């Protein structure tokens, strides 16, 4: 934790899938990150040395690690059981450092969900695991200052989304989101094309309308607005009026977000007893351990900045 003599916060960083680009981002950006916080990287010396040699990058002298232990041969760009389990352990160690009060927050670099599955990890991803550990209805929100998108449903099959569009569940989600973020105005997207066109293209919007009316009555203000037509709400004029959006499903919100702000976007988990951010990109196995791969560090640095603001 931050001491009285050190204004910088201490942040635990889980390095993600070691076969991907996470460790390269860590090594290349350590000096910049160390200006923002006191980083502790959850990786053991054996794997760190192996990765640094493959990348031909020196390990900085002030590089502090927490010895997440599992040693194996790095296989650049491959989905493997061993790298999947290591990324799980690295994340778990970061969580434990935060719950033990040894760090002020955690930043996570990308995992590979298939590698977790191969390793026998039953969680779909970071957020799913955090919900289970802390028994909280955490919300996944992604974006940047110009535009944040919260996801009502996340990593579930698209065919299952309509069954989740219930006024009671939506109201609870809206209430939690308001408590966590205290937004002045939020655009809620409809589920169907044209937001249902008055029931011609689907009637799930009726449930969304009920939830919006109830939450606004609870809050005594028209904070939540919509449901808006999904294919027009992200136009430049619409985005002048909103910088918070709630999408009914994953790609509905993240496709426009990543088209507009892919490199600088981050992932923020709302509603936890600890602070957690993540990069908003994957393991990029196609670029891992390759020279001149032009990796962008904006998402990583923005994720750190969000934790220390």
Q: What three-state secondary structure class fits 59? A: coil
* Range list for CATH 3.40.718.10 in the chain: 1-135+274-309, 137-271
Q: Looking at domain 1-135+274-309, what is its CATH homologous superfamily?
A: Isopropylmalate Dehydrogenase (3.40.718.10)
Beta strands in the chain (DSSP E): 10-14, 38-42, 65-66, 105-108, 139-144, 147-151, 186-189, 224-228, 244-247, 266-270, 276-279
**pTM score, whole prediction:** 0.87
Which residues in the chain come in under a pLDDT of 70?
A: 1-6
* Structural domain 137-271, CATH architecture: 3-Layer(aba) Sandwich (3.40)
Q: How far is 112 from 228, CA to CA, in rounded Å?
A: 33
Query: What number of helices (H) and strands (E) belong to the chain?
Result: 11, 11
Q: Rounded CA gap, 54 and 289, in Å? A: 7
128 is written with which tokens? 């799913």
β 10-14/224-228 pair status: unpaired
Token pair listed for 80? 């493997």
Distance, CA of 23 to CA of 260 (rounded, Å): 26
CB under 8 Å to 229, separation ≥6 — which residues?
190, 193, 194, 195
Q: Can you say how many angstroms the Cα of residue 303 is from the centroid of all Cα atoms in its chain?
A: 9
8 A C-beta contact, residue 151 and residue 247? yes
78: closest CA among 114, 121, 41?
A: 114
pLDDT at 306: 94
What is the distance between the alpha carbons of residues 98 and 95, in angstroms, rounded to a whole number?
A: 5
Concatenated DSSP letters for 117-137?
HHTT---SSHHHHHHHHHT--
């Amino acid at each position: 934790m931050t001491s009285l003599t050190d204004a910088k916060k201490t942040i635990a960083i889980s390095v993600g899938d070691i076969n991907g680009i996470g460790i390269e981002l860590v090594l290349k950006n350590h000096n910049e990150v160390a200006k923002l916080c006191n980083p502790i990287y959850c990786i053991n010396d054996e794997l760190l040395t192996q990765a640094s040699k493959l990348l031909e990058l020196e390990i900085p002298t002030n590089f502090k690690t927490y010895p997440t232990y599992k040693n194996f041969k790095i296989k650049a760009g491959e989905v493997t059981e061993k790298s999947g389990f290591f990324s799980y352990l690295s994340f778990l160690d970061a969580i434990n450092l935060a719950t033990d009060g040894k760090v002020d927050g955690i930043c996570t670099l990308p995992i590979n969900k298939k590698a977790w599955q191969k390793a026998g990890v039953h969680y779909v991803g970071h957020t799913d695991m955090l919900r289970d550990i802390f028994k909280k209805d955490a919300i996944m929100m992604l974006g940047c200052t110009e535009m944040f998108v919260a996801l009502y449903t996340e990593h579930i099959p698209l065919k299952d989304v309509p069954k989740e569009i219930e006024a009671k569940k939506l109201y609870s989600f809206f209430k939690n989101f308001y408590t966590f973020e205290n937004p002045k105005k939020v655009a809620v997207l409809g589920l169907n094309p044209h937001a249902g066109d008055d029931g011609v293209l689907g009637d799930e919007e009726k449930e969304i309308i009920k939830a919006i009316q109830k939450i606004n009555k609870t809050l005594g203000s028209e904070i939540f607005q919509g449901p808006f037509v999904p294919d027009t709400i992200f136009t430049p004029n619409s985005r002048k009026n909103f910088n918070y959006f709630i999408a009914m499903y994953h790609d509905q919100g993240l496709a426009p977000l990543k088209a507009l702000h892919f490199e600088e976007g981050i992932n923020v988990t709302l509603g936890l007893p600890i602070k957690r951010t993540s990069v908003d990109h994957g393991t990029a196995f196609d670029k891992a351990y390759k020279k001149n791969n032009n990796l962008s560090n904006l998402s990583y640095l923005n994720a750190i900045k969000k934790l220390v603001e």
